[in-house]
A and B are shown apart, each in its own frame.
Chain A
Amino acid sequence: MAVAGTDRSHFAPVPTPRARNERALVREAARGSEQALAELFRACWPGAYRAAFLIVHDHSAAEDIAQEALVAAIRALDRFDRRRPLRPWLHRIVVNRAIDWARLRSLRREVLELEAPDDDTDNANRGWSDPVIAALAALTPEQRAVVVLRHLLEYTPGEIATMLQLPRGTVNSRLRRGLDVLKTQLEERER
């Protein structure tokens, strides 16, 4: 999503953080520390955005999803159980919202399949030059989600099963099928 014009002077840069334990950051942010907030944002944004993007394949949607998840996390800081890590909770929101978004888009395409394409962004997104994104497009959103959670965010299949509220066997099968398709797609592109 483009910002009107080119003037970004109103965007304050994110303060540069110093490395600290996530639990301490959550505690300090909940007490009102902006420095802790900035550190948390810096630590969480790349993973949240990238995970969303790899599932939805749409930069604007990924931005919305990651931003909304972070805002939801910030708003829940006071109620958050500080004994638990923040990131799995955040990633659960991101991945579930991204799956919903991708499903909705598929549904919308089914309903509107007779309409002429009028969305340049969407058209641009279909021809990905990055081989891994193009290969991921061959997977279902659910398969993409488990691949991303396992191989980008490095959760175990057990953790993924808990996050997505799925049986562990389902996670394993989606992972296996997803990786098979991904491998085939990448090999075809390399030939």
Chain B
Amino acid sequence: MNDERLQRLLERAGDDGRARAELRAWPVVHEAFAQQRAAAPPHRVLRPVFAVAGLAALAVIVALAVTSPGAAVADWVRDHIVGKPGVEKAAPALTRLPGGGRMLVTSRHGVWVVNPDGSRRLLSGYRGATWSPRGLYVGVWRGHQLFAVEPGGRVHWSLARREAIRAADWSPDGFRIAYLTGRSLRVVAGDGTGDTQLRPRVARVAPAWKPTGPHLLALAPRPRVVDLVATDARALAWRHSLPQATRALAWSADGRLLAVAGRTRVNVLDGATGVVRRRIAAPAGFAIGPVAFANRGHQIAVVLRGRGGQSRAVTVAVAGRHTRPRLLFAGAGRFAQVRWSPDDRWVVIAWPAANQWLFLRSTRVSAVSAVRDIARQFDPGSRAARFPAIADWCCG
């Protein structure tokens, strides 16, 4: 075999996939070019803003300590960055949900439906849950089965798949549920009919329905790619390629923005085109944790997890030209989740290291309402109670 023949063989190899790949790659490369030509990327502005967040936290402590309304806030910030995690003046039990609405909480025993007055009902045995748009039903799953149940527990329908269900999201109009099973992504109608595979293989990222439009679903076919797919037509609306693997997807309520959380940055994409509108970069030494868009407007709550074990929760108004993160809370240990109340006046942080939930006012008026002993409340009777996870909070 001479060099010339080898070269001919190599040039022919793999040609069957090249042309189609080229068709898919061109819009992505073109888009990267358009972004490059656009104005200076905002993350260059944001990074120093975040970099001073530590100083800002200190400033918050000092400023609040000298004003009587903020004295208590300063106490818990100081205590829980330096000392034992947790807010000292925490309620012993969850007796109300600040901001109203109803929560879905997953625990070892199943899914709890938590009412505004703190009362709760266990949907036993389920592993995950998502609200239907108006909170009339709950999509729940366990093992290989997906169910639609009433909050009281009555099962309306169920389906079983060969592989375990990992995540599900109910479309805003209630007519579709997208769910991950094994490595594939499937869509079923809200009444349990018409179950169909949308993609045979996707990354392990929960899909997210666009709040507006005809059944448009954001999904991650591969870790560094995000697609918006019209599920009924099975057509791709846009595709965006990212430098970091996607960890979570979150839509703004008006569907104009899609937050794509990676390891150290959140890319906020234009919902209509997939073009990057904002980049939120974590400060040095921090990684991006959970993110959540508010139910109105374009505020996003972001958890930052530090290498030293500390966490911060910040909110960012991504629509404003001069985006400035606002520190809500900083503490030792990981913040497992962040969610907005249905009225957007509160943000809840799940804080396993402190065994607490913190309800923080999202507005300028600082306030905190902490509840302790969360693990025992949702895992009663266990010697080693497990900290639960907030699955959803809706319907004020």
A positions within 8 Å CB-CB of B: 1-8, 10-14, 29, 32, 34, 37, 41, 45-46, 49-50, 53-54, 59-60, 62-64, 66-68, 70-71, 74-75, 77-78, 118-121, 130-133, 136, 147-148, 151-152, 154, 179, 182-183, 186-187
Contacts and interface: CB of A to CB of B under 8 A. Distances in A.
A183 B9 CA distance: 12
Given A4-B234, A132-B13, A12 B27 contact: yes
- Give the 6 A-B residue pairs with the shortest CB-CB distance, closest first: A5-B234, A59-B17, A7-B235, A53-B14, A63-B21, A132-B9
Contact of A11 (B17, B23, B221): B23
Dominant SS among interface residues on chain A: helix
Interface string B211-232: 0000000000110110101000
A12 B27 CA distance: 7
B290 to A, nearest CB: 26
25 contacts: A1-B222, A2-B199, A2-B200, A5-B234, A6-B234, A11-B24, A13-B23, A49-B21, A50-B15, A63-B25, A64-B225, A67-B24, A74-B29, A75-B36, A77-B36, A118-B182, A119-B183, A130-B12, A133-B14, A148-B10, A151-B6, A151-B7, A151-B10, A182-B6, A183-B1
Interface residues of B, number: 47
Nearest to B18: A49
B14 A49 contact: yes
Contact of A46 (B18, B221, B233): B18
Among B1, B13, B15, B238, max chain A CB count under 10 A is at B13
Contact of A45 (B1, B22, B229): B22
Most buried by A among B7, B198, B199, B235: B235
B302 to A, nearest CB: 24
Given A62-B21, A118-B182, A151-B3, A4 B33 contact: no
A7 B227 CA distance: 14
B37 A71 contact: no
Contacts of A68: 224, 241, 243
Contacts of B36: 74-75, 77-78
A3 B233 CA distance: 12
B6 A11 contact: no
Contact of A10 (B1, B221, B236): B236
A46 B221 CA distance: 23
